[in-house]
Structure 1
Amino acid sequence: MIQIKTRSIGMIEVIQKQINDPDVKECLTGIKSAVNYDREGVSLLVKFFATRREQNIPIGFIDGTIYQTLLKMNDQSLTQEMITGLNLAEGTIDYLQLFNLLSLGEYQQADVLHNQKMCEASGTNAAERGWLYFTDVEQISLQDLQTLDRLWVVFSEGKFGYSVQRKIWLNLGKNWEKLWKQIKWKQEGSFARYPGGFIWNLDAPRGHLPLSNQIRGNKTLEAIFNLFSKIEQ
């Protein structure tokens, strides 16, 4: 019994070292490993989250992974801190349901709701229409766009979000065909069919989600990317 307890303490020390490692992959591995150590694991993650807040580190996907791991351990002690840190209460619309879906990794449901929230945030009749014109995008506040993007980034280990897609697009010289292939929206010359042609988990390539309907061309997505340039100013 003493040997088992000693082994458990030893592993907690290993995990603690991992989560403090500057290497992001090592840190994420440590966070996810904490799920195997019940109260000790919860305590370790909560303290790590608190330390990051004390250091005024903006909430990012490391914090999102901490929260998702705690959910798996049936512990929701950080809900309010996450909501506060992501400024969800400061947007013009309610993002709590999207927060919940993304934190649970329900990416397909989240993608549907995300589209609804984008339409709602535009303040136009896009909500009734069910999709955005590129001219609707300029009506979306920077705060709402940033909140939507941060939710995807935070709860995907940094893999998903408009900002991720935009960075890939810029790195590819704004070449849309190369973007479609890299994020696997297009394969063998054809766009993927919804929903089975898309990957609804973290096995997807970077930038795979959220989706943007390409039937009406890429003007809407380009307008969204261009709006991000104002956020970065």
Structure 2
Amino acid sequence: MSWWQIFGGRGARAKVVRPAGDHIENLRAHAPVDIQQIGTTAELPVWIDVSPEDRTTVTYDGFLWEVEPTGEYLYYLSGDFRKNEKGLLRYESAKTIAEVYVSFEDDVVSVDRSEMQRWSEVARQEATDSSDFSNMTVREITAFAQQRSQEAGYARHLARLAFKDLHRGVGYMEQANDFIPGPWVRLLWSKHAETSQGSRVTKVIVRSSDPDQNINPMHDLMRTLVDRYQNIEDHPLSGAIRM
């Protein structure tokens, strides 16, 4: 065995990984990697860019650190990540991230379906949509959400996605709330489909905790990613892990 122990799993279903030691020991035993930036978009380094017509071979394994994978197959990743001493991208180091992945894990698919339906419905009932925040920074959007919640006496930190077409998926904009301190904004979208490998969720997330980040390029990138990845081809996938 290497620095981890792997149990079960085949095909699109993720293999369960149990780290053999603590994070310091596991990182020390990890093989060095050479992950290179492949482009730039919205002033963010692009690390992964797989066509929705193609089969992805990229998972969190050997690519990202400081995050517990739950069976993701990555199609797109951009963000201002720092690297650790082995060359892995430190997931929690990035202030602004855009990510597209699919997952076939039963619990992940089920929870996403429930949560996204619930919160997108709450967002639809709000008087605001994501276009109302044009040219605002993450700091300004957070201050607005907090003020609106205080005036209402309950949490009001969601808004509809102002997209012409959600392609039969669901999505919403989420602003900072009392449970996670500091300014941040997330744009989320997901779509569920039945494939030859079982139920699949496609997830698109664009988020930022950079107070000075303008929402416009985030919003534009989110729309581009949803339009591009709304119908990923059904390819056999393997190699994902979960912890």
Give yes or no for TM over 0.5. Answer: no
Give 1 or 2 for the bigger CA radius of gyration.
1
Higher share in helix: 1
Decide which structure has greater strand share: 2
TM-score by length of 2: 0.30
